[in-house]
Structures are given as C-alpha cells and as structure tokens.
C-alpha cells in the first residue's frame, strides 16, 4: 500500500480513499456551529501548510479546489485519519473524531 501511494504521484490523495471509507457520511454536515469550529481548527492545525485561505503553500496543495469540495466527506476523513506521511501530510488521528468532522464541514462549506 505504501508503494502504491508513493507511486501514485499524479493522483490526488482524496481519490486514493478506499470505497468503504469514502462511503462514510459526515454526522456534522451543514451544521453552522460545526463549520465555525472547523474554521478555527483549520487555522490552528492546517493553515501553516495549506495557507490561511486554503490557497496552498509549497508542497501542500490548495484545498479550495473543486476536487476537494466534491470529494466525499468519508474520503476526506480517510485522508485526515491516515495522512500521507512520506509526502508530508500528517495524520490527524489524534484529534477527536468530532473535531475532524468539523474541519470537513468547514472545508466543504467554504467554497
Ligand atoms: C505539515 C504540513 C501539513 C499540515 C499541517 C496539513 N497538511 Fe494536508 N497535506 C500536506 C501535503 C504535503 C499534502 C500532499 C500529500 C500528497 O500529495 O500525498 C497534503 C494533502 C492534503 C489533502 C489531499 C488533497 C488532495 O489534493 O487530494 C487534504 C484534503 C489535506 N491535506 C487536508 C489537510 C487538513 C484538513 C489539515 C489540517 C487538519 C492538513 N491537511 C494539515 C501537508 C500538510
């Protein structure tokens, strides 16, 4: 699996999520409080790499892109759980699950 990830350079990480993981739905989707909490968490946990406005910085890709907005919440959850350690995306499995869903609510709402 690690080899498959490493060689899939042309593929977005979100597209590598297994179907079973991608099918999981966000219990906090479209929840305004969750969106606001997610925006704060984003500034604290993600902005240093992905940019304050999700514009991308260095190796970290922009997150204000159609394929991130259109990704299934479960695929984003999978990315946050596993990261892409060899390519510089940390795992956020240490954050409680509700906080990870809040971040996803924010990412998907902030178009
Ligand atoms: C230490 C820097 C760093 C931090 C902090 C970080 N990321 Fe990343 N992220 C990356 C890099 C580098 C990649 C590209 C990985 C790859 O190409 O495999 C990435 C990829 C991603 C992707 C996949 C994008 C795609 O095009 O498929 C998502 C989604 C993502 N990050 C979300 C987040 C979120 C949400 C946070 C905060 C909870 C976060 N990242 C924090 C560096 C970081």
User: What is the per-residue pLDDT across 68-95, written as a single tens digit (0 to 9) for each?
Assistant: 999 999 999 999 999 999 999 999 999 9
Q: Is residue 41 part of a domain?
A: no
Q: Is residue 104 part of a domain?
A: yes
**Token couple for 64:** 């204000």
pTM for this prediction:
0.91
Nearest CA to ligand 1 atom 24: 13
Nearest to 54 by CA among 15, 92, 103: 103
Q: How far is the CA of 92 from the centre of ligand 1 (A)?
A: 10
Q: Is residue 33 part of a domain?
A: no
Q: Is residue 34 part of a domain?
A: no
CA-88 nearest atom, ligand 1: 12
Q: Is residue 92 part of a domain?
A: yes
Structural domain containing residue 77 = 54-111
Q: Is residue 14 part of a domain?
A: no
**Token couple for 81:** 């759980």
Q: How far is the CA of 19 from the centre of ligand 1 (A)?
A: 20
User: Per residue in 25-82, pLDDT tens?
Assistant: 999 999 999 999 999 999 999 999 999 999 999 999 999 999 899 999 999 999 999 9
- Give how many domains the chain has, as a whole number: 1
């Amino acid at each position: 699996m690690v080899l498959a990830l490493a060689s899939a350079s042309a593929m977005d990480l979100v597209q590598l999520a297994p179907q079973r993981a991608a099918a999981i739905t966000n219990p906090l989707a479209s929840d305004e409080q969750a969106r606001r909490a997610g925006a704060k968490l984003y500034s604290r946990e993600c902005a240093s790499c992905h940019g304050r406005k999700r514009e991308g910085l260095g190796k970290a890709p922009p997150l204000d892109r159609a394929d991130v907005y259109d990704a299934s919440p479960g695929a984003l959850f999978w990315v946050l759980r596993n990261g892409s350690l060899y390519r510089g995306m940390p795992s956020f499995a240490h954050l409680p699950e509700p906080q990870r869903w809040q971040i996803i609510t924010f990412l998907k709402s902030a178009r």
